[in-house]
Amino acid sequence: MTKMFALLATGSLVAMAAPAAAQVGEDTPFSGLRVQATTGYDQLKAGSSIDDDGNDNNDQSAEGVFYGASVGYDVDLGKVVIGPEAEFAGSTADTDFDDGDFEGFGFGNVSAGRDLYLGGRIGVKANPNMMFYAKGGYTNAKLNVRSNDGTTEFNDDYDLDGYRVGGGLEYAFGNNLFANVEYRYSNYSKAEVDFDGTLPDSERFDVDTDRHQVLVGVGARF
C-alpha cells in the first residue's frame, strides 16, 4: 500500500508538471530533467522507542559514507519549483565492535545495503540562481546480514520500508549545472527478512529505525 501510494503521488506530480512546463519559459535554471550524484554522512540508529541512551558503551548506531545517483524533473512556476525525483544509493555504514562492546541498533551484525527512494520536492527561489527546498516520499532500504557458519557465507538481509523527509539549498551555475546541500531524515517502521536460497521471506514485522544524512550533490540539467 505504501509503495502504491508513492507511485500514485509521483504520477500525479508528473501529470501536473507536463501542462505547467508548456506555460513556463525555457530561460530558467530550475526547470527540466536533471541528474545528480550525491555523497555525504550516513547514520542508521535505533529509533526513539528503543534507544538505549542509559548505556554509555552502546550508541546503537552505524555510521558511514553515503553515495548515490538520482534523477528528477523540475517545473519552474515562477517563485515556486515542483517536481518528482527518484534515487538509487548505497552506504558504507555497518555495525562495529568498540573496545569489545558490540555497537548495534537492533538488527545484529549488519551492513547497509542498497537504498531506494521515490518522492518529490517543492522549492522557493531566494534569487534567480538559488532555491531552498523541502522533499519527502517513500524509501526502501536493505541491511545485509554479515554472518557465516564457518564454512558457508549467508546472504540474508532485512528489507525495510519507511518514509523520508528533508530539506536543502540548491545553487545553479547557469542553466545546466548545479550543486546542493541537504539534510534528510528517514524512519523505517516495517521490515521483513529476505532469506538466502529457497526459503520464503518472513512475515512483515514492526521496527523503529532512524536514518540521518547530511549530503552534498552536483548535477546537470538537460
pLDDT at 163: 98
The β-bridge partners of 38 are 68, 217
Q: What is the pLDDT of residue 20?
A: 44
At residue 196, the pLDDT reads 74
Q: How far is CA 122 from the centre of its chain?
A: 16
DSSP string for residues in the chain:
-HHHHHHHHHHHHHHHHHHHHHHS-S--TT-EEEEEEEEEEEEEEE-TTT--TT-TT---EEEEEEEEEEEEEEEE-SSEEEEEEEEEEEE--B-EEETTEEE-SSSSSEEEEEEEEEEEEEEEEEETTEEEEEEEEEEEEEEEE--B-SS-B---EEEEEEEEEEEEEEEEETTTEEEEEEEEEEEEEEEEEE-STTPPPPPPEEEEEEEEEEEEEEEEE-
Confidence at residue 202, expressed as pLDDT on a 0 to 100 scale = 82
What is the per-residue pLDDT for 11?
Answer: 47
pLDDT of residue 15: 44
All structural domains of the chain with their residue ranges: 2-221
Fold of the domain built from segment(s) 2-221? Porin (2.40.160)
pLDDT attached to residue 7: 44
pLDDT for 5: 42
pLDDT at 50: 63
Residue 19 pLDDT? 47
pLDDT in tens, the chain (222 residues): 444 444 444 444 444 444 444 444 457 899 999 999 999 999 999 887 765 555 555 557 899 999 999 999 999 999 999 999 999 999 999 988 766 667 778 888 899 999 999 999 999 999 999 999 999 999 999 999 887 666 666 678 999 999 999 999 999 999 899 999 999 999 999 999 988 766 677 888 999 999 999 999 999 999
At residue 42, the pLDDT reads 97
Q: How high is the pLDDT of residue 51?
A: 54
Query: Is residue 100 within 8 Å of residue 58, measured between CB atoms?
Result: no
